[in-house]
Amino acid sequence: MSIRDVRFRYPGAGAPLVLDGASVEIRAGERIAVLGPNGAGKTTLMLHLNGILRAESGSVEIGGVAVARATVRDIRRRVGVVFQDPDDQLFMPTVGEDVAFGPANYGVRGAELEARTAWALGRVGLPDAGALPPQHLSLGQRRRAAIATILAMDPDVVVLDEPTSNLDPSSRRELSATLAALPATIVVVTHDLPYALELCPRSVILSEGRVVADGPTRDLLADADLLRTHRLELPWGFDPLTAPRR
């Protein structure tokens, strides 16, 4: 995945640039966290990865294919975005119908659709949830069900926006185990610095629409001056240098 010199502003007279030359290269199969303070452009960058937003200049490529009007249907099959609120993603009467919706929209039918749905739900630890209404699941389970809706599309890249938001410790551990086992490239947009260290060997810091740091997550989080400059803060007492290595 290649993001090169992307610039973007939301519509409106005099609107400022939200992304101002953002660039990063992400290798296939990599797990990378996108960190930064509120207003840095993290979610905006995420929405460029499958064509929900389009850069006014610069380029985004997925596997060598540029994100553009002519390619966006294929790009959205290859890049799955999991939103912060799973209720934005689960809208069908049952969890199974939600998981089947994406592949069915791309022409998958019959036994293959059933197999994909069952596989995706099993992959996220919800093999028996297909017949349940989404509202019968806990928040952590709904978040994993939202990931299953993406996995059923067999994507190359999974992008998650604040995946640990409002999760209790047990749900957080279950989500971590789910994500760590995925074969796809994983991009995690998060304020949760310990979680970034737990899941992602590499991180970038986005500030004022630009990538200002890129390196091993442990090294970035150990740089107190870097974190202070870009308004990032570790939990009290957390030491990234002594935290367990995955």
Predicted confidence (pLDDT) per residue in 141-187, tens digit: 999 999 999 999 989 999 999 988 888 888 888 888 888 888 889 99
pLDDT in tens, 47-77: 999 999 999 999 999 999 999 999 999 999 8
pLDDT over threshold 80, residue 14: no
| Listed residue (105, 195, 92, 97) closest to 135, CA to CA | 92
Cβ 181 vs Cβ 103: under 8 Å: no
Task: Specify whether the CB–CB gap between 117 and 107 falls below 8 A.
Answer: no
CB neighbours of residue 105 within 10 Å: 12
Specify the length of the chain in residues: 246
Is the full-model pTM beyond 0.75?
yes
Question: Domains in the chain, start-ordered, CATH in brackets?
Answer: 2-88+157-229 (3.40.50.300)
Give the up-direction half-sphere exposure of residue 80: CA atoms within 13 A in the CB hemisphere: 21
What local confidence, expressed as pLDDT, does residue 211 receive?
A: 97
**CA 121/CA 130 separation, integer angstroms:** 7
CA distance 73 to 93: 25
Contact partners, residue 185, CB within 8 Å, separation at least 6 = 1, 26, 27, 28, 29, 30, 31, 156, 157, 158
pLDDT category of residue 13 using cuts at 50, 70 and 90: low
pLDDT category, 190, cuts 50, 70, 90?
A: very high
> What is the number of helices (H) and of strands (E) in the chain?
9, 10
